[in-house]
C-alpha cells in the first residue's frame, strides 16, 4: 500500500514453514502450560508443589505471548524511517542511517546463532550472530526471501515508545 508517495506499507506474510512451526510450538507451549496448571490443582500436592507447578505452567504462556507481541506484522517506509511494526511497538531505523539495502539468499543466515530472540514462533526476530554479518538483528516471517538493511556505524535505534533498542555497528 502506497500513500501519497510519502510512505509505503508491506505486510509480513508467513511461509508454510513458519505456519507449521508456530502451530506445533504454540500447541506444545500452551498445552504444556495447561497441563502444569491443571496438575497444580491436585489435592495431593503440598502448597509449595502447587505453586511451583502453577509458575511452571504460566512460564510457557508468557513465552507464547511475548513471541506474539514481538513478531513483525508489517514493514512501513516513511519519508524519514523504516518501521518494523510489531504488537509491542515499532522498531525504527532512520533512513539517514541506511547505507545499503540488498536482497540476499537464505543461505546467508546459515549458521546463525540466536543470542536473544525467537526463531520459529510467530517469526524469526531478535539478535543473532553469524560469520557473514557478525552481530545482527533480524525481523522476518519468511525464510525464502530476505532483505538486508545495512546501517552506518554507531547507530542508535529506538522503538516507537522512545526506548533504546540497540547500539551497534550494523543492523540487518
Q: What is the pLDDT of residue 43?
A: 76
pLDDT by residue, tens only, the chain of 172 residues: 555 567 899 989 999 999 999 999 999 999 999 999 888 887 788 889 889 999 999 999 999 999 999 999 999 999 999 999 999 999 999 999 999 998 989 898 888 999 999 999 999 999 999 998 889 999 999 888 888 898 886 444 433 333 333 333 344 4
pTM, full prediction: 0.75
DSSP E strands, 36-119: 72-77, 81-86, 91-94, 98-104, 113-119
Q: What is the pLDDT of residue 153?
A: 60
Amino acid at each position: 500500500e502506497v500513500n501519497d508517495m510519502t510512505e509505503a506499507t508491506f505486510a509480513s506474510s508467513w511461509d508454510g514453514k513458519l505456519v507449521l512451526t508456530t502451530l506445533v510450538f504454540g500447541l506444545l507451549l500452551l498445552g504444556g502450560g495447561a497441563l502444569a496448571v491443571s496438575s497444580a490443582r491436585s489435592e495431593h500436592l503440598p502448597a509449595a508443589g502447587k505453586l511451583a507447578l502453577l509458575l511452571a505452567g504460566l512460564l510457557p504462556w508468557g513465552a507464547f505471548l511475548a513471541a506474539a507481541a514481538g513478531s513483525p506484522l508489517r514493514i512501513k517506509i516513511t519519508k524519514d524511517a523504516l518501521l518494523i511494526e510489531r504488537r509491542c511497538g515499532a522498531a525504527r531505523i532512520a533512513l539517514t542511517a541506511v547505507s545499503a539495502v540488498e536482497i540476499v539468499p537464505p543461505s546467508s543466515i546459515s549458521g546463525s546463532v540466536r543470542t536473544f530472540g525467537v526463531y520459529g514462533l510467530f517469526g524469526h526476530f531478535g539478535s543473532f550472530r553469524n560469520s557473514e554479518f557478525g552481530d545482527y538483528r533480524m525481523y522476518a516471517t519468511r525464510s525464502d526471501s530476505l532483505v538486508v538493511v545495512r546501517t552506518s556505524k554507531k547507530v542508535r535505534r529506538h522503538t516507537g515508545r522512545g526506548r533504546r533498542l540497540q547500539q551497534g555497528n550494523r543492523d540487518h
